[in-house]
């Protein structure tokens, strides 16, 4: 059975991110052996009423009203309560295709020792009436210990199917100290604990963009502060699993991309107070120089590219610079003696 965990917070029937669309898409699944854990997290609108209406019609839908708020707490409690041997996470303002669960399940069971299944994810720009797929290679295949690094840059927690046994065995849970970036740490540790990853080109997770209530400026500042913590915690995770040497080139590149790409979102950076921006920059540089002790992580190299990013953000080209870094990563990594062959690091 698949346990679907959905954190709920102000996702009622009156917003443009209606919970009903999400739950209707689950109801329409071809794969029927599932439970839906609706983790209510302090909503002040009619979210609870909407959730109860689905629970009253279908006993696979179960509402849990939590005392502790926060999306990380909601997901963690969902994992603890899950009855399924497989787990997937869906945000209550997103929706899935009718073959989503079926495709993930087939991918997970295609061969022995699969620890993670990944399905395509589309960005749905509801105000612009357009969709585009995330820039990942969704060619159907199975990645083993030597090739699974191909998907290490995918920091999203949804559009995936996890093993409950592995989550419990390694005590992998969402970090409640982080805001907005806890999913990246979660998936990073999980990938280090599994042998094989199966990718399907069927099924579809639709990640809604442009809705009301998305990250505010105050929340973005909190996210940036969490990004500093994430940067250190991610390194610690690789050390914990004795993987920092094996993936040192990848990790060096990912630490800088993670920070400027996910936590220093270019569209929000220029709106923040200058003092906050400078303090965050100083903290990041201090982390590179002092917090991470391993000399193979080239602080001077990271600081150089970080400062270049800041320059282009101020000129209004932050997003374009990120695309450049991703496209020409072999050129950027050349001073470190590291090269991606295809999507693997040699």
pLDDT in tens, the chain (346 residues): 999 999 998 887 765 558 999 999 999 999 999 999 999 988 888 899 999 999 999 999 999 999 888 899 999 999 999 999 999 999 999 999 999 999 999 999 999 999 999 999 998 887 777 788 887 889 999 999 888 888 887 888 999 999 999 999 999 999 998 887 788 899 999 999 999 999 999 999 999 887 665 554 456 667 767 777 787 788 889 889 998 878 776 776 676 666 565 545 445 555 667 677 677 667 767 766 665 555 555 667 777 777 787 788 777 777 777 778 777 777 777 776 656 544 433 3
Q: In the prediction, which pLDDT does 78 show?
A: 97
Of the candidates 72, 90, 51, 74, the residue with the CA atom closest to the CA atom of residue 206: 90
Instruction: Please identify which residue in the block is written with the tokens 């794969």.
Output: 31
DSSP H or E segment with residue 78: helix 71-81
Q: In the prediction, which pLDDT does 306 show?
A: 75
CB contact at 8 A, 34 and 1: yes
Integer Cα distance of 167 and 79 in angstroms: 8
- Strand runs (DSSP E) across the chain, as ranges? 2-8, 34-40, 61-65, 86-89, 95-96, 114-118, 121-125, 130-133, 141-143, 160-163, 196-199, 205-209, 340-341, 344-345
Cα dist. 313→58, 210, 286, 310, 336 in Å? 49, 21, 21, 5, 25
Cα end-to-end span (Å), the chain: 39
Phi/psi at 318 (nearest 5 deg)?
-60, -45
pTM of the model: 0.83
Phi/psi at 62 (nearest 5 deg)?
-130, 125
Q: In the prediction, which pLDDT does 240 show?
A: 92
Instruction: Please identify which residue in the block is written with the tokens 């604990």.
Output: 193
Helix axes of 47-57 and 19-27: crossing angle, nearest 10 degrees: 20
CA 201, distance to chain mean position in Å, is: 19
């Amino acid at each position: 059975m698949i346990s679907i965990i959905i954190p709920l917070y102000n996702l009622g029937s009156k917003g443009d991110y209606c919970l009903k669309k999400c739950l209707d898409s689950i109801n329409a699944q071809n794969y029927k052996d599932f439970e839906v854990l609706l983790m209510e997290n302090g909503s002040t609108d009619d979210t609870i009423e909407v959730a109860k209406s689905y629970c009253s019609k279908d006993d696979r839908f179960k509402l849990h009203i939590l005392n502790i708020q926060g999306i990380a707490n909601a997901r963690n409690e969902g994992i603890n309560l899950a009855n399924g041997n497989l787990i997937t996470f869906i945000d209550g303002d997103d929706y899935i295709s009718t073959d989503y669960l079926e495709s993930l399940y087939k991918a997970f069971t295609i061969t022995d020792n699969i620890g993670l299944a990944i399905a395509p994810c589309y960005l749905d720009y509801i105000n612009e009436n357009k969709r585009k797929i995330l820039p990942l290679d969704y060619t159907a295949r199975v990645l083993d210990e030597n090739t699974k690094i191909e998907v290490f840059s995918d920091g999203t927690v949804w559009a995936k199917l996890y093993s409950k046994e592995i989550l419990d065995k390694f005590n992998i849970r969402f970090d409640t100290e982080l805001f907005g970036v806890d999913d990246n740490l979660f998936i990073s540790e999980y990938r280090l604990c599994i042998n094989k990853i199966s990718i399907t080109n069927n099924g579809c997770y639709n990640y809604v963009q442009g809705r009301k209530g998305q990250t505010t400026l105050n929340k973005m500042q909190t996210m940036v502060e969490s990004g500093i913590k994430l940067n250190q915690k991610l390194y610690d995770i690789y050390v914990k699993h004795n993987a920092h040497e094996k993936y040192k080139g990848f990790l060096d590149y990912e630490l800088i991309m993670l920070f400027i790409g996910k936590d220093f979102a270019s569209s929000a950076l220029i709106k923040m107070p200058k003092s906050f921006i400078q303090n965050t920059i100083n903290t990041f540089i201090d982390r590179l120089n002092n917090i991470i002790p391993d000399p193979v992580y080239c602080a001077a190299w990271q600081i150089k590219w970080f400062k270049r990013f800041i320059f282009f953000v101020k000129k209004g080209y932050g997003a374009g610079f990120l695309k450049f870094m991703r496209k020409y990563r072999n050129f950027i990594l050349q001073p470190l003696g590291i090269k991606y062959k295809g999507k693997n690091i040699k």
